[in-house]
Amino acid sequence: MSRPNVLILCTGNSCRSHMAEGILRAAAGDLLEVHSAGSDPAGYVHPKAVAALDEIGIDLSAHESKHMDRFLDRDIETVITVCGNADQACPAFPGQVNRYHWGFDDPAHADGDEAEVMAVFRRVRDQIKLVFEAYAAGYREGKAC
């Protein structure tokens, strides 16, 4: 039995969507096939997003920035947008049953010195972790019924 596909979108696919992908995969990768993409991909995964997830034991080092069109021919059951621009630009995907929008601040736009910027990445990571682990728990509970 194949796992349902979940696609997490943001504009640049460099920070928030990758953090959410890593966290959701860690929390429910046995139940869901998790992907991320962007409506206007930056072409890289932000090193501070990689570092922030590494701190909690999730490896994003092999992730790459992808355009959402790469997934138009896949059976995507759930689309989750994590920024307003992606929510507005998001097309309907074949087979899509669910669509959620959970917006988070973009840590790539954080100002300050190295420590202050990294603190913003950690804050956004922790917010994403809270939301996506709750989603995974709810999904897991629904499958147990």
Domain 5-144 bears CATH identifier 3.40.50.2300 = yes
Strand 76-81 to 5-10 pairing: parallel
- Mean pLDDT, to the nearest integer, of 115-131? 98
Domain parsing of the chain, residue ranges? 5-144
pLDDT tens sequence across 68-107: 999 988 889 999 999 876 556 666 666 667 889 999 999 9
| Annotation says 83 is catalytic | yes
Is the pLDDT at 145 greater than 60? The verdict is no
| Annotation says 145 is catalytic | no
Catalytic entry in 6, 7, 8, 10? 10
| 77/63 Cα distance (integer angstroms) | 22
- Given a contact cutoff of 8 angstroms between Cβ atoms, the answer to whether 52 and 122 are in contact is yes
Catalytic entry in 24, 82, 90, 136? 90
Q: Which residues pair with 34 in a beta bridge?
A: 6
| Annotation says 90 is catalytic | yes
| Residue 142 identity (one-letter amino acid) | G
- Given a contact cutoff of 8 angstroms between Cβ atoms, the answer to whether 17 and 9 are in contact is yes
Residue 90: what pLDDT? Answer: 62
Catalytic entry in 7, 23, 83, 120? 83
pLDDT tens sequence across 8-30: 999 999 999 999 999 999 999 99
Joined tokens for residue 102:
């959970």
